[in-house]
Amino acid sequence: MQSLPGFRDFLPNDCAARNYIFARWREVCRRYGFVEWDGPVLEPTDLYKKKSGPEIVAQLFSFTDKGEREVAMRPELTPTLARVIAAHEREFKKPLKWFSIPQCFRYEKQQRGRLREHFQLNCDIIGDQSSGADVELIALCIDLLREVGLAADDFVVRISDRAAWDRFLPDFGIGPEQKADFLNVIDKLDREEVEKIQPKLELFGVSVARLMAFLANANLEWFAPLREQLETRDLLQYCEFNLRIVRGLAYYTGVVFEVFDRPRKFRAIAGGGRYDTLIHQLSDGAVDFPAVGFAMGDVVLGELIKEVPSARKKMEEAIQSQHDLQIYAVIAKEERRPDALQLIQTLRDNGYRVDYSLTPAKVGKQFQTAEQLGARLAVLFGDEWPQLKLKDLCTGDQSLVPREELPARVATLLSSRA
């Protein structure tokens, strides 16, 4: 038996890496004044049929439950967020700064960096339409990546603004009904040959030359406010401005941004933007809030951390410092086992990470285990009783300690090299 395609087993090392990423996410989000929330993993399929795009619905992980309800594993969090906001918004002062780490699902052929299940950090600011909120969120996104040890030459935030297109599309003679199709062509501008782009543009009556001229002018002026605020925060070095970026989702209304690794080896690390009309639509008109948000997946970020030596080292050290054993109890004489267990319990009550052999084992074996588990101290229970032999496994120093003094001695030794 193997796991379903696109689903992961988290062996201890994988789980440690996941927990590390989650811990950094929570830490930085709280630093920015965001509070954590969550919703159901399973939702009525209708929530997505009504509220998400056709592409998302086509890839739903859905089934009929035993009560004949059509249900779906959540493919994204935003519909749930809209529902929760509509029901509870009066309980909270605006703007809301909420984050969540949902596990999301999609029924889609898997590839590297894109599985059928992943965790994604969602950060949203609800009820503030200022560009300050946009920048706050971009800053948060950058800091999340800096926190795991990534630097300006590891990733780039590419920023654009759909509002610019809203303002200029009429100049090209393109009506609202053609907007989505046109932006789809723009989205591929950097990826496709001019020969392929040209006929597509001509369908809209736009020449390549005219489009390029527009881009050259608009790119300079349009982003001045954002640029200024990012400069103030000394974050400009992480950012690039480019109107060609429109992002796939239909619901974005203003600033959009996406984050990539500089070598472009991986898929997008994060993406988001402003969606000022979505909550109104998703709540069936019950509430109306401007909003801006982004999502960052655990899969690509995890791969990138492993790829960048400094980030990888930082993660490994963080994991090890949390997991290494502090004390290993060596039971040299089996008749001392009850005494050992009593003292082990005391040490654990004091908050130390303590382990020992559950079954009788040779002393050499026990020391070897202590070494492999990364223990810093070994306490030996044997003929010395009621004294104990305390060994520092880093230096090799050993000393005899009366059993009642052990906690104090352990505290001294462990704190001196913390």
Partner RNA sequence: GUGGCCGUAGCUCAAUGGUAGAGCUCCAGAUUGUGAUUCUGGCUGUUGCGGGUUCGAGUCCCGUCGGCCACCCCA
Decide if residue 103 touches RNA (CB under 7 A).
Answer: no
Min dist CB 119 to RNA, Å, is: 11
Is residue 271 within 8 A of residue 295, CB to CB? The reply is: yes
- For the chain, how big is the Rg over CA atoms in Å? 28
Is residue 121 within 8 A of residue 25, CB to CB? The reply is: yes
| Helix residue ranges per DSSP H, 123-173 | 131-147, 162-168
Q: Of 262, 229, 28, nearest to 151 (Cα)? A: 262
| Residues facing 402 on adjacent strands | 387
Q: Which of residues 17-56 bind RNA (CB under 7 A)?
A: 53, 55-56
Compute φ and ψ for 307, nearest 5 degrees. Answer: -80, -35
Dihedral sign computed on CA atoms, order 214, 161, 135, 238 = negative
* Residue range at the interface with RNA (CB under 7 A); choices 38-46, 141-149, 184-192, 235-243: 184-192
* Residue range at the interface with RNA (CB under 7 A); choices 27-35, 83-91, 227-235, 376-384: 376-384
Q: Which of 19, 59, 346, 357 binds RNA (CB under 7 A)?
A: 59
Min dist CB 302 to RNA, Å, is: 13
Which residue is it, tokens 């492993």?
306
Return the number of the residue (236 or 332) whose C-beta is nearest RNA: 332
* Residue range at the interface with RNA (CB under 7 A); choices 21-29, 107-115, 131-139, 158-166: 107-115
* Residue range at the interface with RNA (CB under 7 A); choices 141-149, 220-228, 379-387, 409-417: 379-387
Decide if residue 75 touches RNA (CB under 7 A).
Answer: yes
Q: How far apart are CA 267 and CA 67, in angstroms?
A: 39
Q: Which of 389, 401, 410, 413 binds RNA (CB under 7 A)?
A: 389
Rounded to whole angstroms, the maximal C-alpha distance in the chain is 93
| Residues facing 121 on adjacent strands | 296
Min dist CB 93 to RNA, Å, is: 27
| Helix residue ranges per DSSP H, 274-418 | 278-282, 298-307, 309-323, 337-349, 363-372, 406-416
Site string for RNA, 304-343 (x = CB under 7 A): ----------------------------xx----------
Q: Which of 41, 152, 215, 268 binds RNA (CB under 7 A)?
A: 268
DSSP one-letter code for 82 = H
Q: In the complex, which residues of this chain contact RNA (CB under 7 A)? A: 2, 5-6, 53, 55-56, 59, 75-76, 104, 106, 108-114, 120, 184, 188, 191, 247-249, 267-268, 271, 295, 332-333, 362-365, 367-368, 370-372, 378, 380, 382-384, 389, 391-394, 396, 398
